[in-house]
C-alpha cells in the first residue's frame, strides 16, 4: 500500500511539474505534428484510408515515444541541475520507486501527443479514427504508456550513474521509430532486426493500438507489453542499487 | 554515548586532466578525520572553502562512500546500512538549489514527506507545524521559483525536519543569507538543540560556530587541526594580541614580509568595500606596531587598533599553521 502511494504521489508531483512548463507542453504537442504531417503526405500517395489511419496511429505513438525517450534522460539531468538528485537519494525511500513514477509521468504526457496527432490527422487530412475494439483500444493506450515509462525507467537508471548518458535518450528516439514499426511494417526489415524489435516494448504497444483500431487480436500484444514492461522494471530494480552505489563511490551524484 | 562517530575517514576524488592524453589525478579531500558527537550536542565543523567539510558530511549522510575509515550514525554503519541511517537523519544544505521550483513550498514538503515515510495521517499537521517554525506560513502555496534565497533556505530546513529526525546535518545553512535571515535561521537552529536534536553544523562563519556550537572541530586541508569548546579554542590564542590596520591597497609581498617578522603568529587581510583590513596576530610579549607600520610604507594607512584575540583569530592561526 505504501509503495503504491509512493508511486502515485511521485507520479502526481512530477506530472504537475511537466504540466506547468508551457514550453515543454507546447513542444510535446507541436513537435509530433511535424512528423505526423510528413507521414500523412508520404502515405497519402497510397490513397488508402486504412493506410492513412495506419500512419496516423504510428505518428501518434511516435510522439508518445519521443516524449518518453528524450525526457527520461533530461529528467535526470534536470534533477542534477536543480540539486534535487542528492536530496532524493538522501531519503530512505527505494530510489527505484522514486524514479519509476518520474518516467511514467513523462510517458503520460505522451497521451497529449497521441490525441493531438489524431486530431491533426482528422482536421487537416480527413482521417477518421475507426476503432474495431473500443475497449481494447482504450486499454492499449495506458498499457503502452506504462511500458514506455518502464523502458524510460531502465534508461533513467543508467543516467543516475552516467551523467552524460542523457544524450543516449535522444539517440534512441529515431531507431525505435523505425525498428518498432511505427511507420513501416516490420516485414520490410531484414530478419535479424526482428528479434531486436521483439524485445522492445514499443513494438507491442504499437501493435496493440493498431490491432484494436484496425481490427485484429490485440490481446497477445497487450500481454507482451505487460511481460516486457515488468521485465524492464525488474531489471531496473536489480541494477539500481549497484549503479547508485557506484555513483556514491565515484561522487557522481553531485555532478551536473 | 556517541550518536555520530567517524573513525579515520578518508575520501579521494579522481579527476582527469588533458584531452587526448588523459591522466587521472587523485585529490585527497578528507585525510583521516575522526570525531564523535554526543546525544543532544551541537557539533561544529569549521573550516575554509575546500577544507573537506562538505565531503565529510556527505560521507556521514550516505551520499558518498568513504575511500577508507568507518562512520556510524546511531549505531548504523553509513556504508552497510545506508537506509537505516537515512531514516533517522535530516540533511539541510545551503544555497538556492535543491528544491523543485515548479512546485509550491507546500508541495515540495508533501512530496518529501512521502519519501521520508511520514504517515499520511500526520503529514498535514507536521507540514503546518514546520511552516510555522521556519516562518513560511502564508507563502506555502506559492511556487518556490518566486522564493527569496532565505525562503528557500528555510524550506530546506523544514524538509530536513519532516520526519522528526534524531540527528540533523546542516551544511553551511546560512551561506549567502542576509544578516536578518541568517540570524532568524540561527534562532531556528537554537530551537532544535533545545528540542534535544543532535546536530552537526558545518560553517566557515566563526561567530556562528561560537554562538551555536557546544564543541568545534577545525578542519583544514582534509584534516582536523583542533577540537574543543569555543572557549578552549579561544584560549589557545588568548595569550596573544591582534593589531588591525585599515589599508588601501596592500601588496602580497608586504603580507609575506609581515608574516616573517619575529613574534608574528598569523597575518590575514579582509576586503571591506574600498579598503582592506590587515590583521596581524602577535605574541603577547612583543610590541610590533611600529614594525608593522614600517612595512606598510607606500600604502595608504587608515585607522590602527589593538584588540584581544577572538575565535576567528584562533581559527586563522590554526588554518594558517597548517
Does residue A49 lie within any of the structural domains? Answer: no
| Whole-number Å distance between alpha carbons of B320 and B322 | 5
Is A86 in Cβ contact with B63 (below 8 Å)?
yes
Nearest to A13 among B93, B111, B159 (CB): B111
Q: Which residue has the higher pLDDT, B208 or B77?
A: B77
Is B159 in Cβ contact with A6 (below 8 Å)?
no
Average pLDDT over residues B118-137: 91
Helices (H) and strands (E) in chain B, counts: 11, 14
- Using CA coordinates, name the residue in chain A closest to B61: A90
- Using CA coordinates, name the residue in chain B closest to A254: B63
Is B62 in Cβ contact with A248 (below 8 Å)?
yes
| Whole-number Å distance between alpha carbons of A201 and A64 | 13
For every residue of B256-310, DSSP letters joined together read HHHHTSTTEEEEEEEEETTEEEEEEEE-TT---HHHHHHHTTTSEEEEEEEE---
Q: What is the pLDDT of residues B110-121, one digit of tens each?
A: 999 999 999 999
Does residue A56 lie within any of the structural domains? Answer: no
pLDDT for residue B90: 93
User: Is B115 in the A-facing interface, judged by CB distances under 8 Å?
Assistant: yes
User: Is A1 in the B-facing interface, judged by CB distances under 8 Å?
Assistant: no
Does residue A45 lie within any of the structural domains? Answer: no
Are residues B247 and B302 in contact, defined by beta-carbon separation less than 8 angstroms?
yes
Max Cα-Cα span within chain A: 59
Domain count, chain A: 1
The mean predicted confidence, pLDDT, of chain B is 87
Nearest to B65 among A83, A91, A249 (CB): A249
pLDDT for residue A77: 79
Q: How many CB pairs under 8 A join A and B?
A: 78
Average pLDDT over residues B33-48: 91
Q: Where in the sequence is the domain holding A157, given as residue range(s)?
A: 2-31+72-108+131-249
The residue among B165, B159, B164, B114 whose CA lies nearest residue A1 is: B114
pLDDT for residue A174: 80
Q: Which residues of A touch B112 (CB under 8 A)?
A: 87, 91
Residues sharing a CB contact under 8 Å with residue B91, sequence separation 6 or more, in sequence order: A87, A90, B61, B160, B168, B169, B171
Sheet containing B264-272, strands listed edge to edge, beginning at the edge strand earlier in sequence:
B264-272, B275-282, B241-248, B300-307
Q: Which CATH class is domain B2-234?
A: alpha beta
Q: Which three cell numbers stand for residue B155?
A: 524550506
Are residues A135 and A48 in contact, defined by beta-carbon separation less than 8 angstroms?
no
- Using CA coordinates, name the residue in chain A closest to B103: A17
Q: What is the pLDDT of residues B261-319, one digit of tens each?
A: 888 888 888 887 778 888 888 887 788 888 888 888 777 888 888 887 777 777 777 77
User: Is A88 in the B-facing interface, judged by CB distances under 8 Å?
Assistant: yes
Q: Which three cell numbers stand for residue B63?
A: 551520499
Q: Which residues of B touch A10 (CB under 8 A)?
A: 111, 114
Residue B127 has pLDDT above 90, yes or no: yes
| Whole-number Å distance between alpha carbons of B54 and B13 | 13
Q: In chain A, which stretches have pLDDT less than 70?
A: 24-25, 27-29, 45-48, 72-73, 163-169, 255-256
Distance from B184 to chain A by nearest Cα, in Å? 23
Crossing angle for the helix pair A49-82 and A95-125, to the nearest 10 degrees: 140
Q: Which residues of B touch A21 (CB under 8 A)?
A: 102
Distance from B87 to chain A by nearest Cα, in Å? 5
Residue B217, phi then psi, degrees to nearest 5: -115, 130
Is B91 in Cβ contact with A17 (below 8 Å)?
no
Read off the pLDDT band of B237 (50, 70, 90).
low
Q: What is the pLDDT of residues B145-189, one digit of tens each?
A: 999 888 898 899 999 999 999 999 998 888 777 788 788 888 888
Q: Where are the domains of chain B?
A: 2-234, 236-321
The residue among B116, B195, B112 whose CA lies nearest residue B155 is: B112
User: Is A8 in the B-facing interface, judged by CB distances under 8 Å?
Assistant: no
Q: Which three cell numbers stand for residue A175?
A: 531507431
Question: E strands of chain B, at which residues?
Answer: 2-17, 23-38, 42-46, 68-73, 76-77, 89-93, 167-171, 198-203, 215-220, 223-228, 241-248, 264-272, 275-282, 300-307
Are residues B229 and B216 in contact, defined by beta-carbon separation less than 8 angstroms?
yes
Distance from A243 to chain B by nearest Cα, in Å? 13
Is B100 in Cβ contact with A84 (below 8 Å)?
yes
pLDDT for residue B296: 84
Does residue A121 lie within any of the structural domains? Answer: no
Is A9 in Cβ contact with B111 (below 8 Å)?
yes
- Using CA coordinates, name the residue in chain A closest to B92: A87
Residues sharing a CB contact under 8 Å with residue A5, sequence separation 6 or more, in sequence order: B114, B120
Is B34 buried (19+), middle (13-18) or exposed (0-12) by CB count in 10 A? middle
CATH fold for domain B236-321:
Alpha-Beta Plaits (3.30.70)
Q: What is the ipTM of this complex?
A: 0.83
By three-state DSSP, how is residue B178 classified? coil
What's the angle, vertex CA B280, arms to CA B279 and CA B284, rounded to 5? 135
User: Is A252 in the B-facing interface, judged by CB distances under 8 Å?
Assistant: no
Is B62 in Cβ contact with A245 (below 8 Å)?
no
| Whole-number Å distance between alpha carbons of B276 and B288 | 19
In three-state form (DSSP H/G/I as H, E/B as E, the rest C), the secondary structure along A93-137 is CCHHHHHHHHHHHHHHHHHHHHHHHHHHHHHHHCCCCCCCCHHHH
User: Is A249 in the B-facing interface, judged by CB distances under 8 Å?
Assistant: yes
Q: Which residues of B touch A82 (CB under 8 A)?
A: 97-101
pLDDT for residue B173: 85
By three-state DSSP, how is residue B125 classified? helix
Instruction: State the pTM of this model.
Output: 0.82
Is B306 buried (19+), middle (13-18) or exposed (0-12) by CB count in 10 A? exposed
Does residue A209 lie within any of the structural domains? Answer: yes
| Whole-number Å distance between alpha carbons of B183 and B45 | 19
User: Is A246 in the B-facing interface, judged by CB distances under 8 Å?
Assistant: no
Q: Which residues of B touch A20 (CB under 8 A)?
A: 102, 143
Amino acid at each position: 500500500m505504501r509503495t503504491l502511494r509512493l508511486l502515485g504521489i511521485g507520479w502526481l508531483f512530477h506530472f504537475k511539474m511537466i504540466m506547468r512548463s508551457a514550453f515543454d507542453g507546447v513542444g510535446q504537442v507541436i513537435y509530433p505534428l511535424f512528423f505526423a504531417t510528413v507521414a500523412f503526405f508520404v502515405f497519402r500517395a497510397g490513397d488508402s484510408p486504412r493506410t492513412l489511419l495506419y500512419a496516423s496511429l504510428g505518428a501518434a505513438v511516435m510522439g508518445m515515444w519521443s516524449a518518453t525517450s528524450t525526457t527520461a534522460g533530461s529528467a535526470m539531468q534536470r534533477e542534477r541541475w536543480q540539486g534535487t538528485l542528492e536530496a532524493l537519494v538522501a531519503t530512505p525511500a527505494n530510489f527505484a520507486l522514486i524514479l519509476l513514477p518520474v518516467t511514467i509521468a513523462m510517458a503520460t504526457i505522451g497521451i497529449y501527443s497521441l490525441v493531438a496527432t489524431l486530431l491533426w490527422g482528422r482536421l487537416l487530412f480527413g482521417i477518421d479514427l475507426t476503432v474495431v475494439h473500443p475497449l481494447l483500444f482504450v486499454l492499449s493506450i495506458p498499457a503502452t504508456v506504462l511500458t514506455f515509462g518502464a523502458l524510460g525507467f531502465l534508461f533513467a537508471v543508467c543516467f543516475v550513474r552516467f551523467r552524460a548518458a542523457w544524450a543516449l535518450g535522444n539517440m534512441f528516439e529515431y531507431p525505435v521509430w523505425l525498428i518498432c514499426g511505427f511507420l513501416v511494417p516490420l516485414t520490410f526489415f531484414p530478419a535479424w532486426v526482428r528479434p531486436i524489435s521483439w524485445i522492445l516494448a514499443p513494438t507491442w504497444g504499437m501493435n496493440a493500438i493498431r490491432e484494436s483500431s484496425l481490427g485484429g487480436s490485440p490481446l497477445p500484444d497487450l500481454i507482451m507489453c505487460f511481460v516486457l514492461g515488468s521485465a524492464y522494471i525488474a531489471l531496473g530494480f536489480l541494477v539500481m542499487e549497484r549503479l547508485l552505489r557506484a555513483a556514491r563511490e565515484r561522487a557522481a551524484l553531485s555532478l551536473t | 554515548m556517541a550518536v555520530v562517530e567517524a573513525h579515520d575517514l578518508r575520501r579521494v576524488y579522481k579527476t582527469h586532466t588533458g584531452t587526448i592524453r588523459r591522466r587521472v589525478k587523485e585529490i585527497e579531500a578528507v585525510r583521516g578525520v575522526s570525531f564523535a558527537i554526543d546525544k543532544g550536542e551541537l557539533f561544529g565543523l569549521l573550516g575554509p572553502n575546500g577544507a573537506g567539510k562538505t565531503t565529510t558530511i556527505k560521507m556521514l549522510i550516505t551520499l558518498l562512500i568513504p575511500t577508507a575509515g568507518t562512520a556510524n550514525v546511531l549505531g548504523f554503519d553509513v556504508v552497510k546500512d545506508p537506509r537505516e541511517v537515512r531514516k533517522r537523519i535530516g540533511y539541510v544544505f545551503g544555497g538556492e538549489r535543491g528544491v523543485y521550483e515548479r512546485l509550491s513550498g507546500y508541495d515540495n514538503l508533501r512530496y518529501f514527506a512521502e519519501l521520508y515515510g511520514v504517515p499520511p495521517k500526520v503529514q498535514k499537521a507536521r507540514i503546518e507545524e514546520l511552516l510555522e517554525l521556519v516562518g513560511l506560513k502564508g507563502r506555502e502555496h506559492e511556487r518556490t521559483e518566486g522564493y527569496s534565497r532565505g525562503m528557500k533556505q528555510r524550506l530546506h530546513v523544514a524538509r530536513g525536519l519532516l520526519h522528526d529526525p534524531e540527528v540533523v546535518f546542516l551544511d553551511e545553512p546560512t551561506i549567502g543569507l542576509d544578516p536578518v535571515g541568517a540570524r532568524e535561521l540561527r534562532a531556528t537552529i537554537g530551537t532544535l538543540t533545545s528540542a534535544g536534536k543532535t546536530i552537526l553544523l558545518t560553517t566557515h562563519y566563526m561567530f556562528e560556530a561560537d554562538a551555536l556550537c557546544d564543541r568545534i572541530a577545525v578542519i583544514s586541508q582534509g584534516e582536523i587541526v583542533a577540537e574543543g569548546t569555543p572557549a578552549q579554542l579561544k584560549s589557545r590564542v588568548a595569550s596573544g594580541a591582534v593589531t588591525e590596520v585599515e589599508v588601501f591597497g596592500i601588496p602580497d609581498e608586504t603580507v609575506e614580509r609581515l608574516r616573517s617578522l619575529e613574534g608574528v603568529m598569523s597575518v590575514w587581510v579582509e576586503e571591506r568595500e574600498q579598503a582592506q583590513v590587515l590583521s596581524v596576530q602577535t605574541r603577547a610579549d612583543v610590541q610590533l606596531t611600529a614594525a608593522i607600520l614600517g612595512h606598510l610604507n607606500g600604502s595608504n594607512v587608515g585607522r590602527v587598533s589593538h584588540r584581544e584575540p577572538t575565535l576567528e583569530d584562533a581559527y586563522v592561526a590554526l588554518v594558517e599553521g597548517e
